[in-house]
Structure 1
Amino acid sequence: MSRIVVTLGPATQEPAVLEQVVKAGADSFRFPASKASVASLADLASRVAALAAGLGQSPDLLLDLPGAKTRFTNDDQFSLAGLSRVRVHFTPVPSDVHREVPVLGLTGADISGQVEPGDLILIGDGEDALRVEHVAPDHCVTIPLSGGFLGKRRGVALPGKSVPASRLTDQDRAALQTLPGSIFTAVIISFVESADSVREARDIMTASAAGHRVPPVIAKVETRAGAAAAREIAACADAVLLGRGDLLLDSGPLEFFDLCENVRTATADAHCPLIVGTQLLTSLSAGWMPHRSELACVSELLRAGTAALMLADETAAGTAPVRTVELLRELRERYSPRPGPAPLFAARTAAPAGQGA
């Protein structure tokens, strides 16, 4: 039976809500390090583990390292509605979203050489977009094409552009050194496009393990290049996370399904656990009934025996996190081919610490 991975965020950090989420069926938790320090996430993970233990549960605690993804620098949220222009700097300058023309800086992979007038800048998983009007050496001026609410440090993408984000950052490496012996039971590395990234992450942890167990490595595949290398990645990683949000931004809508199928087939052939995430049941935040397409997709993933399904915005920022987990649990009980959620890494962690499967 598939495991239910809940991404923690503002909607699920209060103890009362966390308790409801665990009771509703969550058996794994994801802690994104893109907007918080690893130390603060470790404190949160300890609270989650203690709360779950009080309910007789021992969930997976998954630290998600952000990699070199390009992100805005804003800590204040604001709406794009009614704005005529937004100024985007290519360097991590402090954002000022309260100006008549808001100013946003960027961290992560450098996009300065990629941006041209007329280009689209997609925000998040593509919910909002900016059109580039003018490009200067250190910034561009953009026109909002949507009126959505821009949350804290959202990721950005340039469809059709090759922006290098497939390397471990210095921040990733520093975090990996602290993980053996920590509260986290596994680590997710982002934008994996070859088995080399998995080996590097494992080597970093092994070098600092000092006798502690090296946590399993989950390789997040979320680009065309990553999907093309899915077989070698699945042969090396302890699990693969299919990040459908960034994959769609990189692939475009026509290639998307074929790339997802390539990852699914590669992980199945390698007997590597597959986690599928991004927009599984997001419609529950906008209405009482889920979208029919979401129900069909989730039910098919469960029936296929997918190792885990990961809720992201649904539980991190959605308006109905508990109800979403409850529905996913009920769908799991109906459509999963096996009774009871199986351990995520049972078949991939028999090797000694630091060795691949």
Structure 2
Amino acid sequence: MRRAKIVCTMGPAVDSLDALRSLVEAGMDVARLNFSHGTAEEHRRRVEQIRAVSLELKKPIAILQDLCGPKIRTGFEGPSLVEAGATVSLVEGSSGSADTIAIDYQGLTEDVRPGDRILLGDGQVELEVVLIREFRVETRVLHGGAVRSRMGVNLPSKRVRLSALTDKDRRDLEVGLDIGVDLVALSFVRHADDIRELRQLMEVHGRVTPIVAKIETPSAVEQIDPIVRAADAVMVARGDLGVELPPEMVPVMQKEIIGTCRRHQRPVIVATEMLQSMVDAPRPTRAEASDVAGAIFDGADAVMLSAETATGSYPLRACAMMDRIIRQAESSRFYNPLPSEPGDSTPEAIANAACDVAKTIHASILVALTESGGTARLISKARPPAPILALSPDEKTLRRLALYWGVIPRYLDMSGGDVDQLVRRASGVLKELGLAQAGQRFVMTYGAPIGLRGSTSAIRVELVR
């Protein structure tokens, strides 16, 4: 079975029940809702469709809300073309002129210094700050090109004081929590305080949801340790990260971020342009296939498809291709998933001991009976050779576990039964899923009393009945 998970972005290309059903069957584990696009009603409808397909196929699918974040853009009525070597002025506001580009960021003159780079259109146009006046910034064009209204602007400077949460994000968060998203991704995180601010806002709404910190700025890279500790999961968002950092640094940063997440026991998603050519072509380039495999070898818990599934011509092929690449990488002799550094808590001791027992007796699978999902997450972090079946009566727990490496989340009614009855029920699920046959051994973790959150304290070796 495949251990790493697949995140697929929703969009017009998969905007029907049939397409979603096929996408889940092709391997989707997490559905990403990009709140940079679409209305609240469109997102609500998609959540309902995903839930319906998930119920039909009996496969929990996590829904990830991706907040837009503070995107700086050019204004209107500026120059249509700038040439290398020319001098161009930047002003704060919405309207420019023949030789002036308007930028919709009110902190521009305070946050840049002479020598800083300013990038337009994902780096297609590169400017260097020469002089800062009271209301404008004079720049020299390093790389020229077309300038359009509403182009994205990147300020790689670590001095940018933008809040990670915009007014739109606050409204979108309320929508996401109301429609029941399972994870919330925060864009352009710069400090751990950004994560804490989002969590406090969730508390105000009375619904705290796991937070995925998107690493896409030099500031975030510099603050990676406290950010990872504050977040519940991390996304290596290579789009803006690759604009604000030199391209040759991105593979190095990817490895370092994944390593930091492994040390702090946080799942990590690698994203952006993984199979980009499949937006238009039925097959990926060899370099893209190597990119996906490289993320798996680096230790990623999940890899993500963006435009490939949202607006591409071959969304199902892209997901199926990613599934095949992951399986091939994980079955190779080069794949050596390293466990996270173990902690000293009782639940971690139980999880690690269960993995050791399973390895010693060559158990076919690990089974975690869990209310909150905590034990299954800890077993996942230990990277056991056997797959992990997480059984829970809590649908929300099961959906959130869909992101975790090696975890197969499935529903199990734990009411009105002792441990022996639960072993029989678990055996039934194992046989139904084709994960084990009668007479094969499995290792099971559970708590006493059964059904109490955070009570996992026992390990049991059983035969599939």
TM-score (normalised: structure 2): 0.59
CA deviation string 1:51-77 (max 9, x = no partner): 332233321111111111224689xxx
Question: Closer, same or farther in 2 for the Cα pair 1:274/1:146, shift >3 Å?
Answer: same
Q: CA RMSD in A?
A: 4.0
Secondary structure in 2 aligned to 1:11? helix
Partners of 2:8 and 2:31 within 8 A in 1: yes
Secondary structure in 2 aligned to 1:258? helix
Matches within 5 A, 1:240-259: 240-259=234-253
Which residue does the alignment assign to 1:18? Answer: 20
Which residue does the alignment assign to 1:77? Answer: none
Partners of 2:9 and 2:33 within 8 A in 1: yes
CA deviation string 1:335-354 (max 9, x = no partner): 2376589632699xx88xxx
Which residue does the alignment assign to 1:301? Answer: 295
Partners of 2:82 and 2:144 within 8 A in 1: no
CA deviation string 1:184-238 (max 9, x = no partner): 11111111122111111111111221xxx52111111111110121111111211
Distance (whole Å) between structure 2 residues aligned to residue 73 and residue 226 of structure 1: 27
Which residue does the alignment assign to 1:233? Answer: 227
Quote how far apart the aligned CAs of 1:172 are.
2.1
Higher relative contact order (CA 8 A, sep 6+): 1
Question: Closer, same or farther in 2 for the Cα pair 1:42/1:156, shift >3 Å?
Answer: farther
Matches within 5 A, 1:56-71: 56-71=58-73
CA deviation string 1:239-263 (max 9, x = no partner): 0111111111111224333322321
Question: Closer, same or farther in 2 for the Cα pair 1:106/1:322, shift >3 Å?
Answer: farther
Distance (whole Å) between structure 1 residues aligned to residue 49 and residue 93 of structure 2: 35
Of 308, 315, 338, the match for 1:314: 308
Secondary structure in 1 aligned to 2:179? coil
Question: Closer, same or farther in 2 for the Cα pair 1:249/1:160, shift >3 Å?
Answer: farther
Amino acid corresponding to residue 123 of structure 1 in structure 2: G
1:5 aligns with 2:7: yes
Distance (whole Å) between structure 1 residues aligned to residue 209 and residue 301 of structure 2: 18
Of 272, 277, 286, the match for 1:283: 277
Matches within 5 A, 1:34-73: 34-71=36-73
Aligned length: 327
Larger radius of gyration: 2
Amino acid corresponding to residue 67 of structure 2 in structure 1: L
Matches within 5 A, 1:96-115: 111=108
Partners of 1:35 and 1:153 within 8 A in 2: no
Which residue does the alignment assign to 1:344? Answer: 403
Gaps of 5+ in 2: 332-384, 390-400, 408-452, 455-465
Secondary structure in 1 aligned to 2:236? strand
Which residue does the alignment assign to 2:166? Answer: 169
Partners of 1:227 and 1:260 within 8 A in 2: no
Secondary structure in 2 aligned to 1:267? helix
Amino acid corresponding to residue 153 of structure 2 in structure 1: V
Question: Closer, same or farther in 2 for the Cα pair 1:71/1:41, shift >3 Å?
Answer: farther
Quote how far apart the aligned CAs of 1:179 are.
4.5
Percent identity of paired positions between Structure 1 and Structure 2? 27
Structure 1 runs (4+) deviating above 6 angstroms are 85-89, 135-144
Question: Closer, same or farther in 2 for the Cα pair 1:290/1:196, shift >3 Å?
Answer: same
Which residue does the alignment assign to 1:198? Answer: 195
Secondary structure in 2 aligned to 1:41? helix
Question: Closer, same or farther in 2 for the Cα pair 1:20/1:28, shift >3 Å?
Answer: same
Distance (whole Å) between structure 2 residues aligned to residue 29 and residue 257 of structure 1: 25
Quote how far apart the aligned CAs of 1:305 are.
3.9
Partners of 1:9 and 1:317 within 8 A in 2: yes
CA deviation string 1:153-179 (max 9, x = no partner): 663324668544453222223333454
Which residue does the alignment assign to 1:123? Answer: 121
Quote how far apart the aligned CAs of 1:297 are.
2.0
Partners of 2:66 and 2:184 within 8 A in 1: yes
Amino acid corresponding to residue 52 of structure 1 in structure 2: S
TM-score (normalised: structure 1): 0.74
Amino acid corresponding to residue 403 of structure 2 in structure 1: L
Amino acid corresponding to residue 7 of structure 1 in structure 2: T
Which residue does the alignment assign to 2:378? Answer: none
Distance (whole Å) between structure 2 residues aligned to residue 62 and residue 242 of structure 1: 15
CA deviation string 1:289-343 (max 9, x = no partner): 4222221221122244411111112222222221111100112222237658963
Question: Closer, same or farther in 2 for the Cα pair 1:162/1:17, shift >3 Å?
Answer: farther
